[in-house]
Amino acid sequence: MILSAGEDTITINNPEYGYIAYVNMAISVVETEHGYQLWDNGIGYDHRTCKVDRFLFSDTEAATLETFLNSHRGEIIALTLGTDSGFFPFGPDKGDTGIFTIKVLERNFTLYDQFNQFTKSFKWLMVSAPAYTLPAITRQGNFSIGGVDYLMYPQTGISQGKEYGLSTSVTLGGDGYYVDKKVNVTTSGFTQNCNEGLAAALFAYMTGSNGRASDITIENAGRYYIFGVENGASDSYLCKNISPVIQCEHVGNEQFEIPLTFWLKQ
């Protein structure tokens, strides 16, 4: 990849796997007596960041990079990725090719004496991204989230949450006292393991106008009890996303992980 500011340029290698793209959506999530309400201020107010924990450099490369960054502190920097670079800094739906513009929010160096290598960690803010067409989808399973089909069933387990609309207390007279709102709130969190095509489609859907704060249907969930045994092994659940920050970690070649949290609307 190439970093450039004006006539000043520097070429560095891709980071190690494990970097994470975040979309901070302009959504407010409020828990009410009857579940969750979401207010969406619009995609135009979202912002994307990338957290990279490990770039590896020699001492010369590290010094050159530090000089470049010090010379252009606070400036917008062009990040140029070659064709099919394999580095998706701001999500698989934004691609790994072309010219992005960024601002550096955080940076840190660490020395590994035994190898005479330096690691550099970054947090970048995306200013702009090149046009990109989502890649073709390679089927992994029959699990569906909203408009994204052929997903694999979550491989890392499902974490269900339950809040019962029942307040209990003991009075001074020793009697049990209850206030029942007759509404239970059920949530479910899990991580989707995806190939590149499905990761791009899912990330684009969850952060786009059809996902975000809209009703989302999870389908083909039979036998898996996404929202606990009491809600059955339905083939369809109507849900809402309740996380205003969606992230995607690139964990390996053709391997992406996207954690999600949903509220069972009905």
pLDDT score, position 71: 93
Quick count: other Cβ atoms within 10 Å of Cβ 63? 13
Distance CA(182)–CA(224), nearest Å, equals: 26
* Residues recorded for the chain: 266
| C-alpha to C-alpha distance for 129 and 99, rounded to whole angstroms | 7
φ and ψ at 74, to 5 degrees?
A: 80, 0
Which of 145, 119, 11, 126 has the alpha carbon at shortest distance from 59? 119
Q: Which domains does the chain have, with CATH numbers?
A: 2-128 (2.40.30), 143-264 (2.40.30)
Closest by CA to 16, choosing from 157, 137, 121, is: 121
Cβ contacts of 113 within 8 Å, gap of 6 or more:
none
Nearest residue to 148 via CA among 260, 57, 17, 2: 260
- Going by DSSP bridges, is the β-strand pair 2-5/8-11 parallel, antiparallel, or unpaired? antiparallel
In tens digits, the chain (266 residues) has pLDDT values of: 999 998 999 999 999 999 999 999 999 998 877 778 889 999 999 999 999 988 888 888 888 998 999 999 999 999 999 999 999 999 999 999 999 999 999 988 776 655 667 778 899 999 999 999 999 999 999 999 998 999 999 888 888 887 776 677 787 777 777 776 556 778 899 999 999 999 999 999 999 999 999 999 998 767 778 888 878 777 789 999 999 999 999 999 999 999 999 999 87
Give the type of residue at 233: A
For residue 255, the model assigns a pLDDT of 95
The residue whose two tokens read 């970048």 is: 124
Tell how strand 8-11 and strand 20-24 pair up: unpaired
**Cα distance between the two ends of the chain:** 47
- Amino acid identity of residue 20, one-letter, is I
| Residues 249/257, Cβ–Cβ less than 8 Å | yes
Task: Copy the structure tokens of residue 89.
Answer: 């800094």
> Hey, what are 69's tokens?
């960054």
